[in-house]
């Protein structure tokens, strides 16, 4: 790792929008008025709904923080999504099957690949660096931010756009098994290496560490393994482990099972931890929505925040802080 000792990797910009309007089933969807007017630089280009949502989110991020294309030209893209363009794929394939292959509009063909939204983003903003789509369920956008952090740390890129986007449709209603409230969302953050003094002065969110681990033992989720992941991350990355820490948990578990598992893990870790459970899920965009909430808080009660996303057996862990103790 090549990070200058005086520098830190921070989230310097953040934008997020979540669905608020209930659809016919149990998901909250993003209102059409949010994205319908997005046309892009080349008004003849076609965008499917999920790409329009993502590009609108990016447009709002750029407008809010005065980000220009010259700054973004060398940025890497790390986009997390659970379903990505599945709705577009389903619509395209259904029309070909029900009518004929000749009936589909070829202009819609680019929408039939999972990395289409991220590719549309790189084309629209002329971003020339690496472009990743992470599609691994609930953890996707938290992993996207973690991978962006590691890419800057290893000098693969100097700055990064990371986050997530997901939409609701028939495919999602068939495949989502979650008793919690679910919603569409788009969220994007800008990560970059900055001086420690600047980070403190501007109250940026600093990324302390990221890890992803399998926490099942003998096919059962293990509080012991989760506890060990927490203990190791806290001891290795927090200079003062006596500082108060808060944890934000997102998972598809039943709320009772979720609470029991993580309360036991926190108890076994031996640290002073304040535990929060997120009762609303945003598919693959869940992690970035939680990061954005923390970014926009004017005051944080604890020195460190740990975001935990659990998808099946994989636990993703991101440690962040607005004002970590000076070393």
Q: What is the pLDDT of residues 244-263, one digit of tens each?
A: 899 999 999 999 999 999 99
- Are 300 and 214 part of one and the same domain? yes
Kindly calculate the radius of gyration of the chain based on its CA atoms and give it in whole angstroms: 20
Inter-CA distances, 149 with 26, 190, 211, Å: 34, 10, 11
Contacts (Cβ under 8 Å, ≥6 apart) of 165: 50, 53, 54, 57, 79, 81, 117, 185, 186, 187, 284, 285
- Asked which of 198-207, 224-233, 292-301 is least confident by mean pLDDT, the reply is 292-301
- Residue range of the domain that includes 50: 7-200
- Are 188 and 220 part of one and the same domain? no
pLDDT over 90 for what percent of the chain?
A: 69
Q: Say if 326 falls within a structural domain.
A: no
SS3 assignment, position 109: helix
Q: Quick one: average pLDDT of 108-119?
A: 78
β 205-214/314-321 pair status: antiparallel
- Are 66 and 189 part of one and the same domain? yes
- Are 22 and 155 part of one and the same domain? yes
Residue 143 has pLDDT above 80, yes or no: yes
- Asked which of 260-264, 287-291, 302-306, 317-321 is least confident by mean pLDDT, the reply is 302-306
- Are 32 and 163 part of one and the same domain? yes
Q: What is the CATH number of the domain that holds 31?
A: 3.40.47.10
- 61 with 121: CB under 8 angstroms? no
Mean per-residue pLDDT over the chain, rounded: 88
Q: Quick one: average pLDDT of 176-204?
A: 91
Cα separation of 285 and 53, whole Å? 12
The tokens of 229 are what? Answer: 């992941």
The tokens of 134 are what? Answer: 């992470």
Residue 197 has pLDDT above 60, yes or no: yes
pTM (predicted TM-score): 0.92
Cα 22 versus chain centre, distance: 22
- Are 168 and 67 part of one and the same domain? yes
User: Given pLDDT bands bounded at 50, 70 and 90, which one contains residue 46?
Assistant: confident
- Are 187 and 235 part of one and the same domain? no
In this predicted model, what pLDDT tens digit does every residue of 258-295 receive, in sequence order? 999 999 999 999 898 999 999 999 999 999 999 999 99
Contacts (Cβ under 8 Å, ≥6 apart) of 98: none
Q: Say if 215 falls within a structural domain.
A: yes
Cα separation of 41 and 87, whole Å? 25
Contacts (Cβ under 8 Å, ≥6 apart) of 167: 29, 30, 49, 50, 53, 83, 87, 184
| Dihedral sign, Cα of residue 132, residue 136, residue 137, residue 142 | negative
- Dihedrals phi, psi of 266, to nearest 5 degrees: -65, -40
């Amino acid at each position: 790792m090549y990070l200058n000792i005086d520098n830190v990797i921070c989230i310097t910009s953040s934008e997020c929008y979540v669905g608020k309007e209930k659809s016919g089933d149990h998901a909250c969807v993003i209102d059409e008025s949010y994205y319908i007017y997005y046309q892009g630089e080349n008004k003849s280009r076609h965008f499917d709904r999920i790409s329009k949502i993502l590009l609108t989110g990016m447009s709002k991020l750029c407008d809010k923080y005065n980000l220009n294309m010259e700054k973004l030209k060398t940025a890497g893209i790390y986009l997390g999504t659970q379903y990505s363009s599945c709705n577009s794929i389903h619509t395209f394939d259904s029309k070909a099957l029900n009518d004929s292959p000749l009936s589909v509009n070829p202009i819609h063909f680019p929408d039939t690949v999972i990395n289409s939204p991220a590719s549309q983003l790189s084309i629209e903003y002329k971003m020339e660096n690496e472009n990743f789509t992470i599609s691994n369920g609930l953890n996707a956008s938290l992993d996207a931010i973690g991978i962006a952090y590691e890419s800057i740390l290893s000098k693969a890129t100097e700055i990064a756009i990371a986050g997530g986007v997901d939409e609701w449709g028939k495919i999602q209603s068939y495949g989502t098994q979650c008793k919690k409230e679910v919603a569409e969302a788009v969220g994007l953050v800008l990560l970059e290496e900055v001086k420690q003094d600047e980070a403190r002065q501007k109250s940026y969110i600093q990324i302390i560490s990221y890890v992803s681990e399998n926490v099942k033992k003998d096919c059962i989720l293990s509080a012991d393994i989760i506890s060990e992941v927490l203990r190791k991350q806290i001891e290795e990355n927090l200079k003062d482990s006596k500082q108060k820490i808060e944890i934000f948990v997102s998972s598809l578990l039943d709320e009772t099972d979720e609470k029991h598992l993580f309360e036991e893990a926190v108890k076994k870790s031996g640290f002073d931890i304040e535990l929060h459970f997120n009762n609303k899920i945003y598919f693959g965009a869940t992690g970035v929505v939680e990061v954005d909430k923390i970014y926009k808080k004017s005051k944080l009660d604890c020195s460190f925040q740990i975001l935990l996303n659990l998808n099946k057996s994989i636990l993703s862990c991101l440690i962040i802080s607005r004002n970590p103790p000076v070393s």
